Structure 1
Amino acid sequence: MLAKLFGPKEIIDENTKNWIWDTFAWAIENFDINVLKNDARLILPSNDFYPGKVSSIDEMAQAMFINTKKYAGMQNWPIDITSSSPTSTTAIEDLRLGNVIRGENAEININLSNAPLMLGFNPNQVNQPQDLIAGISQALASILVISNKVLPPGGKEYLPQAIDLVACFMGFGVIFANTAYQFKGGCGSCNNASLNRQAALTEPETVYALALFCVLKKEPIKQVKGHLKSHLKKDFVNAYKSIEQSIGATTQPALLALAS
């Protein structure tokens, strides 16, 4: 009782927490645990992860896309990005997945075509780089999840939420938390709502998924806090400490394999 009384405040309800844990375990089982263990990093909105100077909007978007694909472990996937209306007829259903689907050894082919699957982007999104990165990683997570033959916990109804969670599982949780909700107040030039991504997980749910990733990857709190919006920091610390306290009691083998 005392542990609960003085423990960290829970930022989401028990059912949501259980779904996030179960879905994270599902992602580990389906999307290459070795990539998560050995390659996945906490991706931060900084020049360390998105460096370099470019001479055009398209160059900047391409640079962000190439880095984001690599961080997602999908560098071998035949996917490209364009500011024009995508003309490729290649669909997600045309992708053929090998035994390894993420990382440098991934085997992904296209049925009857060499044309990559094309993603479109709004050039104005470059002015809101976190939103552009979040949109790209959300699209990549969507392709990964839809290509998978095993539905997430909750089935088809929970695919949008599972896609957001998989983006956090890939390491984009900080950027996803920062773009989960955009304030509508303030000056009109501060934010263009039409360029924001459509979030399926709420802010607290996204922060909790980020915290779970950080605990499993042993990312220290101080590494994360400075990159989060100010109003998210307290919730992140509470979620992190709560997960730290309960991770040893999980019955999910996939989560235990990482936590040990």
Structure 2
Amino acid sequence: MLANLFSPKAIIDENTKNWILDTFAWAIENFDINVLKDDARLILPTNEFYPGTVTSIEEMAQAMFIKTKNYAGMQKWPIELTSAAPTSTTAIEDLSLGAIIRGEHAEVDVNMSNAPLMLGFTQNQVNQPQDLIAGISQALASILVVSNKVLPPGGKEYLPQAIDLVACFMGFGVIFANTAYQFRGGCGSCNNASLNRKAALTEPETLYALALFCVLKKEPVKNVKGHLKSHLKKDFVSAYKSIEQSISSTTQPALLALVS
């Protein structure tokens, strides 16, 4: 009874929690554990991570794209950003992947073509930088997940959720949590709903994935809370404490490899 009294409040149900743990382990096994251990960082919406002075909206978008691509460990992937109508017909299926797919030593080529994959954006999206970063990282996670030959737990039906989780796995959990839900009412100038990404994971699910990343990377709670929207902080702390207490008893070898 006393143990239950002092246990952190569960923010998601047991089945969802297990799926997140299993899918995170799947990501570790398929997307280069060494990049997660050695290079991955918790990416925050601050000038430390997205610095620099730019002279145009296009330049700003490109700068954010390059930074996001590097943080994702996909700097070697033939992917470009454009505000014009994409002219390349290169598809994810045209990519040829080597044994290492993320980081400085990644082996990624385009079969039968030198044309990169093109991601589009509108100039209005730059007015909501955090949403643009979330959209770019979601697109990169989508390319990574779809190019992988091993489906996530749950199969094709869970690909959208797995893509959001992989974005958190790559370090974008704070930005994803902050953009998982956007208020649609009130003053029309406060938010442009057309610029928001489509979230597959709910706020609590995204917070749990963020907390798992932080526990595995030994990122202190205090480094995270100040960058989350106010209504997300309490649930993040609950998720973090719950994972911290239970992670050592996980049956997932991939997770245990990072805990020890």
Scaled to the shorter chain, the TM-score interval is: over 0.9
Instruction: State the distance in 1 between where 2:34 and 2:124 align.
Output: 36
Unmatched 5+ residue regions in structure 1?
none
Q: Tell me the CA shift for residue 2 of structure 1.
A: 2.1
What letter is aligned with 1:207? L
3-state SS of 1:27 partner: helix
Q: Does 1:182 align with 2:178?
A: no
Q: Tell me the CA shift for residue 187 of structure 1.
A: 1.4
Query: Counterparts of 1:30-69 in structure 2 under 5 Å?
Result: 30-69=30-69
Aligned to 1:196: 196
Q: Does 1:15 align with 2:19?
A: no
TM-score (norm 2): 0.99
Q: Tell me the CA shift for residue 18 of structure 1.
A: 0.2
Instruction: State the distance in 1 between where 2:50 and 2:121 align.
Output: 18
Q: Tell me the CA shift for residue 184 of structure 1.
A: 1.6
Aligned to 2:91: 91
3-state SS of 2:236 partner: helix
Instruction: State the distance in 1 between where 2:13 and 2:183 align.
Output: 24
Q: Does 1:156 align with 2:156?
A: yes
Residues 24-75 of structure 1 deviation map (CA, whole Å, 9 limit, x = unaligned): 0000000000000000000000000000011111100000000000000000
Aligned to 2:210: 210
CA RMSD between the two structures: 0.6
Aligned to 1:167: 167
TM-score (norm 1): 0.99
Residues 129-186 of structure 1 deviation map (CA, whole Å, 9 limit, x = unaligned): 0000000000000000000000000000000000000000000000000000001233
3-state SS of 2:80 partner: strand
**Percentage of matched positions with identical amino acids:** 86
Instruction: State the distance in 2 between where 1:111 and 1:64 align.
Output: 27
Query: Counterparts of 1:221-240 in structure 2 under 5 Å?
Result: 221-240=221-240
What letter is aligned with 1:210? L
What letter is aligned with 2:38? N
Q: Tell me the CA shift for residue 236 of structure 1.
A: 0.2
Query: Counterparts of 1:112-151 in structure 2 under 5 Å?
Result: 112-151=112-151
Q: Tell me the CA shift for residue 122 of structure 1.
A: 1.4
3-state SS of 2:131 partner: helix
Residues 93-119 of structure 1 deviation map (CA, whole Å, 9 limit, x = unaligned): 000000000000001000110010000
Aligned to 2:28: 28
Runs of 4+ in 1 over 3 A off after TM superposition: none
Instruction: State the distance in 2 between where 1:169 and 1:110 align.
Output: 25
3-state SS of 1:240 partner: helix
Number of equivalenced pairs? 260
Aligned to 1:253: 253
3-state SS of 2:130 partner: helix
